[in-house]
Amino acid sequence: MLPEFEFVSPGTLAEALALLGPDVTPLAGGTNLIVELRDGNSSPKRLMDISRLRELRGIRRENGHIVIGGGTTISELLVHPLIAEHGWPLSQAAALLGNPLVRNRATVAGNLVNASPAADTAPPLIALAAEVELTSKKKTRLVPLDEFMAGVNKTMIRHDELLTSVRWPVPPARSAAAFYKIGLRKADACSVINAAAMVVWDDAGRCSQARIAIGAAAPRPVRARKAESALLGHALDGRVIEAAARLVDDAIQPIDDVRGTAVYRRRMAAVMVRRLLAQIAEHQAGRR
Ligand SMILES: Cc1cc2nc3c(=O)[nH]c(=O)nc-3n(C[C@H](O)[C@H](O)[C@H](O)COP(=O)(O)OP(=O)(O)OC[C@H]3O[C@@H](n4cnc5c(N)ncnc54)[C@H](O)[C@@H]3O)c2cc1C
């Protein structure tokens, strides 16, 4: 049974922002929120349907960035050429999120604002250096995604804000990125652990920028900064990849839960980073 609530369904972003407040909970695809309501974990006074807001939809290239409206569904990510070309790890994550029915409803903003440590869109977006756009009646601010997600189901969003878009710089031509997820099944499974990496290299083939993000291994998705630093200035050979993979352990604080043990997650974090970097090295070898 669902609890009682008032239901409002604004037709424009301006109307939605005017209605927002501490007693109002936005409802996008409902694939997290309706479960929370049904299980009695949330009892909002007012639910505001934001799924009709056209301003939250669409994927575009703008001022050197790829911009995704917060209300973009996971299914839409899967078929969009800009995501395939400039957000490959996000495309990979979208293909592995839930099942087709969930992907048709679930939105990018919902995945990020829900702030599960295992949220599958988070590591790829963090690896791509994404920022979220938070809009209130008064102003719009941009926050780096790795700061936005602050803990288990905690973010920096305020009651008077909506997550209106997510954006990242178009990756340079000399770059590659990838996503990896381990679940208890091959499909329709929450991540036991997930990770994404992006590497940019110089014209001599040495790593000039690296971002590695790990999910479901700490209260929020984290960057493996020491592992990233170990790559800088080096070609991605077996020795460098191994050195980076060993440093991932430092960034994570995994726990035992129904899906896996902390020990397993620690081992798999290193394995995933090794595989991601090996894939990126293969891609680089094919391009140069
Ligand atoms: C069967 C099943 C399988 C799943 N599998 C996966 C999986 O494999 N990987 C994974 O990561 N997740 C999975 N999920 C979780 C869920 O589908 C995703 O987190 C989804 O992206 C949530 O989006 P939504 O639009 O449904 O959010 P909602 O449920 O509508 O909202 C979630 C939260 O975000 C807030 N919110 C939504 N949009 C905005 C906005 N624009 N601005 C401000 N706040 C907003 C809501 O108020 C709410 O607090 C699964 C869920 C189900 C039911």
pLDDT of residue 287: 57
Q: Where are the beta strands (DSSP E) in 107-161?
A: 131-135, 140-144, 149-151, 154-155
Could you tell me the two tokens for 33? 């929120």
Task: Label residue 32 exposed, middle or buried (CB < 10 Å: 0-12, 13-18, 19+).
Answer: buried
| Ligand 1 atom with minimal separation from the 34 CA | 29
- Tell me which amino acid residue 170 is: V
- Any atom of ligand 1 within 6 Å of the Cβ of 26: yes
pLDDT of residue 2: 87
Could you tell me the two tokens for 196? 């994404």
Residues of the chain with pLDDT under 50: 288
Q: Are strands 222-223 and 6-8 parallel, antiparallel or unpaired?
A: unpaired
Cα-to-centroid distance, 109 and ligand 1 (Å): 8
- Any atom of ligand 1 within 6 Å of the Cβ of 175: no
- Any atom of ligand 1 within 6 Å of the Cβ of 24: no
Nearest CA to ligand 1 atom 49: 114
Is the pTM here over 0.95, yes or no?
yes
- Any atom of ligand 1 within 6 Å of the Cβ of 111: yes
Could you tell me the two tokens for 63? 């001022």
| Ligand 1 atom with minimal separation from the 120 CA | 11
Nearest CA to ligand 1 atom 34: 110
| CA separation for the pair 43, 50 (Å, rounded) | 18
- Any atom of ligand 1 within 6 Å of the Cβ of 125: no
| Ligand 1 atom with minimal separation from the 183 CA | 8
